[in-house]
Chain A
Amino acid sequence: MMVGVTNLTKTYGDTIALDGVTVEWGSGLHCIAGPNGSGKTTLMRVLAGLTRPDAGTIDSPDSLGYAFQEPNIYPDLTVSENLDVFQSLTGGRTAWRETLVERLRLGPERDRKATNLSGGFKKKLDLALALLKEPDALILDEPLADLDPATRRRLVAVATTYAEDNCVLACTHNLGAFRDEYATLTVVVDAAIHRRQTRSELESGPGAAYEDVLDDAGPQRGNGF
């Protein structure tokens, strides 16, 4: 399973969000990092078909799951009803749904309206919805933001297990949480791929490597980075 883009360009008015990006990922867990506004979320949205590029080609599987930075869930429906809607829409297996509910510890919250869930449970429900159809590729956009350490570990564990047979792209600043799990680190800076390294090339771990990259790159586009 390969996921990638070739010569991808996307602009919003005068702002270049992606500038001729070419990159490819296979099975496994891949971290994508970069300063705010560097273009990584745009890259993920293009891969998912949520944003149309101006130019370039996209190679992504038909079955792709997306866990959003802001959970995309029906606020007025309960956890179970959210799962029902998307299971019906995507044809997910009931046994797999129950596995997800159990792994993400959503069971006790089944009958609670999504709007009343804590931030962590909203994230977990969002991840469950993304995984419900057992996609060939999974995109995690800032999956660990604002989560307590226990919830963070649980989400990383679920993502890591899923990455054993599938491609998982984790767009995150929190690289330390993926220290022992990632296959590659891709750093996006100023609408382009700044650096791409495998785990073996990053002996000190992705978090430290990301810091190095930030130091190397210097101030960019006035975003304080």
Chain B
Amino acid sequence: MDVTSLLGKELTWGRHKFVALLVILVVLPAIFAYSTFAFQHVLPTDAPVGVAPQEASVTEDDLNIATAALTFFSDPQTYDSEDAAMRALSRERVYAVISVPPDLTDESLGTAHFDVYVSGSIVPYQQPAQALTSIVSYTLDDQLPREVTASRTVVGTDYNLSEYMIPMFLLALVSLVALVYLPYTFDQEAAVIDRLRVETSLYAVVASKLAFFAALLVVPLAVFDVTSAFAGTDLHVLSLGTAIVTLLTFLLLGLVATTLMLLLGLGTWGRIANLLVMLFVLTFSGLAYPVGFFSPARRWFVRQVPTHYSAVTARGFVLRDDPIGLYSDWLLGLAACVVVAAVLFAGTVELYERRA
């Protein structure tokens, strides 16, 4: 009887919490399922690759011939020089660079040798790149009057999957702190928020929290760094570049989280909304799989998500030890997003204080 009565009470409670249950039991599984099944389409058949001249004497016709041949199994992007193509490789705009030799149609010349450069940091593309090299060799040899050979060169350190995952874990941790732990502290301190507003301001409260947690994030950076060194890897986790991208990403997500908490009343709903944002960030930032592996529509969408650039720059700093200047435009973009988030937060404070 007790159990029946209590089950009845649970049913009543369930009716009151219908929307929350809907989110937990329907929306979240749908997101999980979609993000899982999305990986079924991880067939890098149209992954972007760069096509660049090996030397100045390579003509536009040579590049066009190579590009046309590559179109069948990739999405070729032509660059003016190898340097420009290699820069795009570092910034993960392309996942391989095919260096085209001159005079492809001059059969009086000997073997035409194509170089296929891949980044050692893009671990998921290592095997496809081997296939790509063979295909380049076979396809172009078939289509060109000259004999064609191709060889694959790994640029930078050749990492394994475990090492490749470190920047992903770092950003996942930043997301967790900003979108789960920070909202939790606001939820806990909702009981004292009015006193804090009497004695100081919401801006001061939020600024102190963001500063505190941002400073604390140095600890996981150091832990990742020490652990990586202990494991004998060549990762560069504790660097100025990583610190900058970690800070900007945390500030952006932290301001989003705080804004949502204020809009939704510093309670459970704010925390649920932030959990959804975290799932979005983890799914649509290209943290694990490079975005070029997905469909053009999804590739376009992911490139509109600011944290995608956090993922690429973090990989650049941690795995490739790239200079900060290589990503200055993206870091400025992230900083601009932080400013926009701060403006939205200020507007939300205004709204909160009017409604209070």
Contacts and interface: CB of A to CB of B under 8 A. Distances in A.
Interface of A: 12, 45, 48-52, 64-66, 68, 70-76, 86, 89-90, 126, 129-130, 133
A66 B188 contact: no
B191 A72 contact: yes
Interface stretch (B47-55, B97-105, B161-169, B192-200): B192-200
Nearest to A76: B188
Interface in B305-356: 353-356
A75 B191 contact: yes
Nearest to A45: B356
Nearest to A51: B356
Contact of B354 (A52, A65, A68): A52
B10 interface: no
B189 interface: yes
Nearest to B191: A75
Given A49-B198, A89-B200, A72 B192 contact: yes
A64 B191 contact: no
A52 B194 contact: no
Interface string B134-158: 0000000000000000000000000
Interface in B61-77: none
25 contacts: A12-B355, A45-B356, A49-B198, A50-B197, A50-B198, A50-B356, A51-B353, A52-B353, A52-B356, A66-B195, A66-B198, A68-B194, A70-B191, A72-B191, A72-B194, A74-B189, A74-B191, A75-B188, A75-B192, A76-B188, A89-B199, A90-B199, A126-B195, A130-B195, A133-B199
Most chain A beta-carbon neighbours within 10 Å: one of B195, B198, B355: B195
Majority secondary structure, A binding face: loop
B194 A50 contact: yes
Nearest to A71: B191
A181 B353 CA distance: 34
Contacts, number: 47
B191 A129 contact: no
Nearest to B201: A49
Contact of B194 (A66, A76, A86): A66
B197 to A, nearest CB: 6
B192 A73 contact: yes
A129 B356 contact: no
Nearest to B356: A51
Interface in B168-204: 188-189, 191-195, 197-200
Given A12-B355, A49-B198, 5 more contacts: A50-B356, A64-B198, A73-B192, A76-B188, A133-B199
A79 to B, nearest CB: 14
Contacts of A68: 194-195
Contacts of B193: 72
A68 B354 CA distance: 19
A51 B355 CA distance: 8
A49 B195 contact: no
A129 B200 CA distance: 13
B199 A49 contact: no
B204 to A, nearest CB: 9
Nearest to A54: B354
Contacts of A73: 191-192, 195
What 9 A-B pairs come out closest when comparing CB atoms? A72-B195, A66-B198, A72-B192, A72-B194, A89-B199, A74-B192, A51-B356, A52-B354, A48-B198
Contacts of B192: 72-75
Contacts of B199: 86, 89-90, 133
A68 B194 CA distance: 9
A74 B356 CA distance: 20
Contacts of B191: 70-75
Nearest to A89: B199
Contacts of A90: 199
B197 A49 contact: yes
Contacts of A133: 199
A129 B195 contact: yes
A62 to B, nearest CB: 11
Contacts of B198: 48-50, 64-66
Nearest to A139: B198
Contacts of A52: 353-354, 356
A66 B354 CA distance: 19
Contacts of A126: 195
Contacts of B200: 89
B188 to A, nearest CB: 6
B168 to A, nearest CB: 32
Contacts of B355: 12
Contacts of B188: 75-76
A109 B98 CA distance: 73
